[in-house]
């Protein structure tokens, strides 16, 4: 697989990473630990060298799975994890106090079976802790060799600039896809100016852009999409026009909608690295095909023209999670 470098950081990763959250968290019951380990190693065999996890996924169990899966090939991969919630639980609120960041680093190192965290993200900006203090704490961890690179997630331009002035930010991880394009307004220009990479999560619109979800789809009780306004039956029906557009292009390209959606993201900037996730080996192979699908300037212009006239319906977060979006 082709490689990409995050801005000015020198950190090189595969053009597509693997988002590990859904293996056991967020989208229903997930798969067994054994199956998850097998799938992570399969991703590596197919060229993926960038794996994303967090203490909050589980909490804690996702890091354990990733650590066991990657231990035999640790020096050939880049592992990203995150801090920022009380006791690793989003429902309990934010916690980016310096002592908590240090605690998370030590505990994540053990669960990940490694001596360093390649990319350590603040999972969400904590308004009660100056972001300069957060950046300074991670800077100290970098000096100690426990962390290699600093990242932010869902941070706004103001927070990015303040953090970057203390410790250079290697990557921002935020939602970005044909289903959510807000980062194009201020985030992407800022990242380009500062030399920061971008890691889009939910690059397939939490599965919507695969074309496998419609108004008749039902979600498990423990599937987070049950509580997301964008995934109400009414909004799923209203947003099918976007899926139809992508599906039409996919048919012309002898590709799948998911591959078109990922290829579109990769075409936006050379320092963008999406992290699609899946629990199925067949979907893993399909997603990675997006890295070799080339969309022509005409394809991209057609997508731009069509989507400019296409309103999308429904908020991307439930009210409970919306409170963690960085509005500073």
* Residues acting as catalytic residues: 57
Q: Which residues of 162-185 are buried (b: 16+ CB within 10 A; e: fewer)?
A: bbbebbbbbbbbbbbbbbbeebee
Q: What CA–CA distance (Å, rounded) separates 212 from 266?
A: 22
> Which residue has 């939602």 as its token pair?
175
Phi, psi dihedrals of residue 265, rounded to the nearest 5°: -60, -45
Q: 108, 55 in Cβ contact below 8 A? A: yes
The Cβ of residue 199 has, within 10 Å, a number of other Cβ atoms equal to: 27
- Tell me 173's DSSP state: E
Tell me how far apart the 2 most distant CA atoms of the chain are, in Å.
Answer: 54
> Which residue has 């990675």 as its token pair?
288
DSSP states of 34-100: HHHHHHHHHHHHTT--EEE--TTTTTTHHHHHHHHHHGGGGGG-EEEEEE-BGGG-GGG-B---HHH
Q: 24, 31 in Cβ contact below 8 A? A: yes
What's the distance, CA 248 to chain centroid? 26
Query: Whose CA is closest to 263, among 249, 281, 280?
Result: 249
DSSP states of 205-259: TTTGGGT---TT----TTBGGGG-GGGSHHHHHHTHHHHHHHHHHHHHHT--HHH
């Amino acid at each position: 697989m082709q490689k990409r470098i995050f801005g000015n950081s020198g950190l090189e990763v595969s053009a597509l990473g693997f988002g590990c959250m859904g293996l056991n968290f967020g989208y229903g019951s997930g798969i067994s630990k054994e199956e998850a380990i097998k799938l992570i190693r399969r991703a590596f065999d197919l060229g993926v060298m960038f794996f994303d996890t967090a203490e909050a996924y589980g909490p804690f169990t996702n890091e354990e799975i990733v650590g066991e899966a990657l231990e035999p090939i640790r020096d050939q991969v880049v592992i990203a994890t995150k801090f920022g919630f009380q006791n690793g639980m989003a429902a309990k609120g934010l916690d980016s106090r310096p002592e908590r960041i240090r605690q998370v680093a030590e505990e994540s190192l053990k669960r990940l079976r490694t001596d360093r965290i390649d990319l350590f993200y603040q999972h969400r900006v904590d308004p009660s802790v100056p972001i300069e203090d957060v950046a300074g704490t991670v800077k100290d961890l970098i000096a100690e060799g426990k962390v290699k690179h600093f990242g932010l997630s869902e941070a706004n331009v103001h927070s990015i600039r303040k953090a970057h002035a203390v410790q250079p930010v290697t990557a921002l991880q935020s939602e970005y896809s044909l289903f959510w394009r807000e980062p194009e307004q201020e985030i992407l220009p800022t990242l380009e100016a500062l030399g920061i990479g971008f890691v889009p999560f939910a690059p397939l619109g939490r599965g919507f852009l695969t074309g496998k979800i419609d108004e008749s789809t039902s979600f498990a009780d423990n599937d987070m999409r049950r509580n997301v306004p964008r995934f109400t039956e009414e909004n799923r029906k209203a947003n099918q026009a976007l899926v139809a557009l992508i599906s039409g292009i996919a048919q012309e390209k002898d590709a799948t909608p998911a591959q078109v959606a990922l290829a579109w993201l990769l075409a936006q900037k050379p320092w963008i690295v999406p992290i699609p996730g899946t629990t199925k080996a067949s979907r893993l192979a399909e997603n990675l095909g997006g890295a070799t699908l080339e969309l022509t300037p005409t394809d991209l212009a057609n997508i731009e023209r069509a989507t400019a006239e296409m309103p999308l319906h429904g908020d991307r977060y439930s009210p409970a999670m919306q409170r963690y979006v960085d509005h500073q």
